[in-house]
Amino acid sequence: MVNHKVNHKTIELINSLKSKEKIRVLFVCLGNICRSPAAEGVMKAVIDANNADDRFVVDSAGTGNYHVGDLPDRRMRVHGARRGYTFDHICRQVRSSDFDEFDIILPMDASNERNLHAMAPNPECERKIVPMAEFIDLASRYDHVPDPYYEGAEGFELVLDLLENGCRNLYNELRAHPPIYVKNREVNG
């Protein structure tokens, strides 16, 4: 039984993606060196563990441009490595073409969400923006993934706990009740 906070608009968006050959997922934070590259790495690991690599494209980007070209923050890489992840995304800023190229765009907090809405070229693109927190049910007091940049080790561990929970739920929502294909035609399943 899932009890995360996916709202009805998100369910509509997710249902509209079920028949796609590939689902394109973009995680967004401020710097693109802590939370969103970690989300990208954790989501790729979930997809890989489910042998579903051919069904997804996963990337991350930042609303800010302070660290463009950098690897993820060393602390994020160290904490990730302890759990078996390799976070090797090269930092990039969100660009307007992302709204065409991705199907679902997941900001880590309300500030990232506001920035994405301001950038979105049209309302259809805005419908792709879904707070990552909608998929997190690990600790109900978190309505966002907190920025660990100025925190200690526990901030990075918390980010990983929230993202492991959120990515698992996101994957399950995206893959639940997949459409049934008969002779290459989708039928009601």
**What tokens were used for 27?**
């995680």
Residue 29 annotated among the catalytic residues of the structure: yes
Q: Smallest gap, in angstroms, from Cβ of residue 30 to ligand 4NP? A: 3
CB closer to ligand 4NP out of 102 and 156: 156
Identity of the amino acid at 188: N
- H or E stretch covering 185: strand 185-187
Residue 167 annotated among the catalytic residues of the structure: no
As separate numbers, helices (DSSP H) first and strands (DSSP E) second, the chain gives 7, 5
- Active-site residue (options: 91, 147, 167, 168): 147
Q: Smallest gap, in angstroms, from Cβ of residue 94 to ligand 4NP? A: 12
- Active-site residue (options: 24, 34, 35, 91): 35
- Nearest residue to ligand 4NP, scored by beta-carbon proximity: 31
Give the CA count within 13 Å in the CB-facing half-sphere of 26.
27
Q: Smallest gap, in angstroms, from Cβ of residue 31 to ligand 4NP? A: 3
Residue 55 annotated among the catalytic residues of the structure: no
Pairing relation of β-strands 180-182 and 185-187? antiparallel
CB closer to ligand 4NP out of 14 and 28: 28
By CB under 6 A, name the binding residues for ligand 4NP: 29-35, 66, 147, 149
Note whether 62 and 37 are within 8 A (CB): no
Q: Smallest gap, in angstroms, from Cβ of residue 19 to ligand 4NP? A: 33
CB closer to ligand 4NP out of 14 and 63: 63
Note whether 25 and 46 are within 8 A (CB): no
Q: Specify the residue for token string 């968006």.
A: 13
Catalytic residues: 29, 35, 147
